[in-house]
Amino acid sequence: MPGRRISPRLAAAFAAATGGLVFIGALVTALVRLPANRRQFRLSDVAREAEQAGFRALPLVLLLGALIGLILAFQSAIPMRRFGADIFVANLVSVSLLRELGPLLSAVILSGRTGSAFAAELGTMKVNQELDALEVMGLDPVTLLVLPRMAATLLVTPVLTLMMDAAGLIGMTLVMVGFGYSEPAIQAQVQQAASAADLAGGLAKAAVFGAVVAAIGCRAGLATGNGPRAVGLAATAAVVGGIVATILLDGAFAMLFYRLGW
Amino acid sequence: MPIIEASGLAQRFGDRTIFRDVSFTVAAGQVFVLLGGSGCGKSTLMRQLVGLLPPTEGEIAIAGARITGPGAGPALAAARRRFGVMFQSGALFGSLDLLGNVMLPLEMFTDLPRPDRAARASAKLAEVGLADAAGRLPAEISGGMAKRAAIARALALDPPLLFLDEPSAGLDPITAAELDRLILTLRDRRGTSFVVVTHELASILAIGDACLMLDRNAWPDAGGVIAAGPPRVLKAESRHPVVRAFFDRTPLAAEAA
Ligand SMILES: Nc1ncnc2c1ncn2[C@@H]1O[C@H](COP(=O)(O)OP(=O)(O)O)[C@@H](O)[C@H]1O
Ligand SMILES: [Mg+2]
């Protein structure tokens, strides 16, 4: 039927969209059935993934956090100094770290380290027919493989964010001390600028980012195609998808928090 | 009652028809052998039978319950509790050692305490001759060992029906013969039914109660069944040139002589 052909690109986009919806459906189904399928959700898997995604990411998170704190403080101190306002660097850095940069950068690190690893692991399992083997045993790959990974990153990302925040504040403090401010003065400034609500909002965002990055990584792995490059493509899709989703969600959170006056 | 009834099965991928009009029954307690050249659709048919690939056309019933078509999900889930599958590639879980692979179904579907599970899994590994490889990871073993471990995993829950996709390909003749003996023992002692894909002529004649031979050119436009019946009868009586070529194949040395 010529003339009724839709373009292959459109068809691919449509397939990707429906695939995503089907995956969300499978996630919801797995969550609803979780009480009945408790055995397939193994806490030892959650612990192992949490160690991989969390503990092993700590050096990178601390390094990046400290550098961001240092750079932000140093860069903003230069213009603010001209107005004699450089003590407010502490306000600026602490609020932007706790509310935005901590959760965002933690989620970016998670996408690069963990989202890609999930995609590669599950993609390799798919290529090796391990997922088929699970299915014919009557086991649900989503409950057995995806939910523990999501649970692990949901738990671990707020902790990573907290570490990133702390490292950033230390970096900022180093710069401020270098400019001649005393530690208590800086601390007082931070406490005045940033509230517990800022911290809590940032950590809540981080938890959501963590679960979503894991879900996107797992979905990329489960959707792995055939051929020698498929697993690599899945890992790439996981990183790109994780970062894009994090940015979009961050925007959504900004609007939500604004509405809530948070 | 037959353990498998398949009628009018067809599989199309895009505009290619791999096979059509495939119908057969497997009697309980039988070793049913699937034969045919590479690429004729044996693995595809097996994927249909275990519910991984919905047939383009046709119906499948396992132990009397239809597992294809609308609303068959619960029947398929129930049927899966009664069969074990060994994939052509083995499909072992790469993150678990061999013992862990065999223990997984026990952990998921039995209430046995851990030491009992380990004991039972070790016994299954011993049955396929892998007693001393229990702690090895799938990446550290040969293809033939992976297949045997996959058989041990398929046996873990003592299912009454087993699907084996080329279990003896890549095995040395002695191990292959041991595997055949295991299949016959399970059939005779426990009444286990088997669907086995294999190319080994000796093995087919030794273990096959019935067989189905597929060929890519069975129809002008598609593959399908070219012969069905007990292997000995086919060997003795079939006139189909492809069947004859299969059963009469002789070593190259003899041909040259
Ligand atoms: N998912 C699929 N998509 C397209 N073609 C497929 C798919 N699976 C198998 N095929 C094709 O079907 C044919 C039969 O494959 P298979 O069942 O693996 O053969 P056998 O196991 O008999 O060697 C092959 O030509 C293969 O390329
Ligand atoms: Mg095959």
According to DSSP, residue A60 is labeled H
- For residue range B77-130, what is the model confidence (pLDDT) as tens digits? 999 999 999 998 899 999 999 999 999 999 999 999 999 999 999 999 999 999
Say which CATH number the domain at B45 has.
3.40.50.300
Is B146 inside any structural domain? Answer: yes
Is B190 inside any structural domain? Answer: yes
- For residue range B162-200, what is the model confidence (pLDDT) as tens digits? 999 999 887 888 888 888 999 999 999 999 999 999 888
Q: Residues B241, B134: one domain?
A: no
Q: Residues B18, B45: one domain?
A: yes
Tell me the pairing of strands B16-27 and B2-13.
antiparallel
Per-residue confidence at B256, pLDDT binned at 50, 70, 90?
Answer: very low
Minimal CA separation from A135 to chain B, in Å:
8
Q: Residues B175, B216: one domain?
A: yes
Q: Residues B133, B239: one domain?
A: no
Query: What per-residue confidence (pLDDT) applies to B18?
Result: 96
Q: Where are the alpha helices (DSSP H) in A83-195?
A: 89-96, 102-110, 116-127, 130-136, 141, 147-178, 183-193
Q: Residues B228, B216: one domain?
A: yes
The closest ligand to the CA of B169 turns out to be: 2
Interval B219-240 mean pLDDT: 91
Q: Residues B169, B238: one domain?
A: yes
ipTM: 0.90
Helical (H) or strand (E) element with A117: helix A116-127
Minimal CA separation from B82 to chain A, in Å:
9
Name the domain boundary from B108, B143, B158: B158
Query: What per-residue confidence (pLDDT) applies to A65?
Result: 96
Q: Does B93 touch chain A (CB under 8 A)?
A: yes
Tell me the pairing of strands B193-197 and B31-35.
parallel
Q: Does residue B253 surpass a pLDDT of 80?
A: no
Owning domain of residue B228: 4-82+161-256
- For residue range B199-211, what is the model confidence (pLDDT) as tens digits? 888 889 999 999 9
Query: What per-residue confidence (pLDDT) applies to A2?
Result: 52
What are the CB-based long-range contacts (under 8 Å, 24+) for B129-135? B129/B175, B129/B178, B130/B98, B133/B98, B134/B97, B134/B98, B134/B99, B135/B97, B135/B98, B135/B99
List chain A residues with CB under 8 Å of B87: 129, 132-133
- For residue range A149-158, what is the model confidence (pLDDT) as tens digits? 999 999 999 9
List chain A residues with CB under 8 Å of B62: none
Residue of B67, B78, B63 lying closest to B9 (CA atoms): B67
CA atoms within 13 A on the CB side of B154: 31
Q: Residues B177, B128: one domain?
A: no
Cβ–ligand 1 contact at B51 (below 6 Å): no
Query: What per-residue confidence (pLDDT) applies to B248?
Result: 87
Structural domains in chain B (count): 2
Q: Does B211 touch chain A (CB under 8 A)?
A: no
**Residues B93, A39: C-beta atoms closer than 8 Å:** no
Is B87 inside any structural domain? Answer: no
- Cα–Cα distance for residue pair A178/A168, rounded to 1 Å: 15
Q: Which residues pair with B32 in a beta bridge?
A: B195, B210
Q: Which residues of chain A have pLDDT under 50?
A: 1
Q: Residues B169, B76: one domain?
A: yes
Residue of A237, A57, A12 lying closest to A163 (CA atoms): A57
Contact between residue B8 and residue B225 where contact means Cβ atoms under 8 Å apart: no
Q: Calculate how far, in angstroms, residue B181's C-alpha sits from the geometric centre of ligand 1.
A: 30
Query: What per-residue confidence (pLDDT) applies to B252?
Result: 54
